[in-house]
A and B are shown apart, each in its own frame.
Chain A
Amino acid sequence: MRARVLIRPKEGILDPQGQVVERALPALGFAGVSEVHVGRLVELDVEDPGRLPEMCERLLTNPLIEDYEIETVSS
């Protein structure tokens, strides 16, 4: 099964990448943009998607500073 793990900085933690992007967009003429956050995407094929949360907790994310969301796509 194909899976996607969306990883984002935890709310309330300073996200300098998001801030830089938020400042850069208006400079290019894209007005009305706020609350920008930059995270990471991990895509993987897994035999047992039930083990994805454990993979996230132990390696793919640092739960102290990051939140994650798992999406599975049956192909």
Chain B
Amino acid sequence: MRIGVVTFPGSCDDRDALLAAERVGEAVPLWHADGDLLGVDAVIVPGGFSYGDYLRPGAIARFSPVMESVAEFAASGRPVLGICNGFQVLCEAGLLPGALLPNPSLRFVCRQVDLEVERADTPFTRACTPGERLSIPVKHTSGRFYAPDEVLESLEAHGQIILRYAAGHNPNGSSRDIAGVTNEAGNVLGLMPHPEHAVDRLTGSADGLCLFASMREHVAELQPV
């Protein structure tokens, strides 16, 4: 599997995302100014501060040339994973529902949190078990997932909430403890926690690996051998 990782000016978690991708396949750097996704099988929009987070996090990045290609890639049903700032970019681009608002504390939150896998039958969680607890770090200032009530109801009804913060672990006031949410088709996932920082026990937890392993399983199934 070839996983592309987008780099915007101001991205900073692209390196770790590339390293995480290497654990499960071939990592392919993608540059924001190029519309060419180089034939990758999956795309990661990583964390950081794309375009300085000017105006709103993700507001400028969504208009970069690479995002048009990412939108087409997503529309074709192939997997796109947005992490932290990448989640914000995908929301601003309309590829994911909702928005990420400033944390109620107005502070940068950096800590290890527990997530619960609500669905283990998705391209991003199929290597996990339902109800599994994952220890993964968060680090952000604007991570409060918000959507109007009717949208939240629809997300629940369509099974689009696949990761929630475990009880007492919601670091940012996200509605309904939502940590990871997909589009209706289920092939685009956004989450604020950083699985790419949790792929080796040396740094405290390797629980993030199951998301990347899931993407590998999913892509392998799509490709006839």
Contacts and interface: CB of A to CB of B under 8 A. Distances in A.
Do A and B originate from a single complex? yes
Interface of A: 13-14, 16-17, 20, 59-60, 62, 64-65
Contact of A59 (B59, B105, B147): B59
Nearest to A14: B104
Contacts of A14: 101, 104, 144, 173
Given A16-B105, A62-B56, A65-B99, 13 more contacts: A13-B101, A14-B101, A14-B173, A16-B102, A16-B104, A16-B106, A17-B102, A17-B106, A59-B59, A62-B99, A64-B99, A65-B101, A65-B146
A60 B98 contact: no
17 contacts: A13-B101, A13-B146, A14-B101, A14-B104, A14-B173, A16-B102, A16-B103, A16-B104, A16-B105, A17-B106, A59-B55, A62-B56, A62-B99, A64-B98, A64-B147, A65-B99, A65-B146
B96 to A, nearest CB: 12
Interface string B58-76: 0100010000000000000
Contacts of B173: 14
A59 to B, nearest CB: 7
Contacts of B144: 14
Given A14-B173, A16-B105, A65-B146, A60 B55 contact: yes
B114 interface: no
Nearest to A40: B55
Q: Which of A14, A16, A60 has the most chain B CB atoms inside 10 A of its CB?
A: A16
B92 A62 contact: yes
A59 B62 CA distance: 10
A9 to B, nearest CB: 8
Nearest to B94: A64
B72 to A, nearest CB: 19
Closest 7 CB pairs of A and B: A16-B104, A65-B99, A64-B99, A16-B106, A62-B99, A62-B56, A16-B102
Contacts of B63: 59
A61 to B, nearest CB: 8
B55 to A, nearest CB: 7
Interface string B137-159: 00000001011100000000000
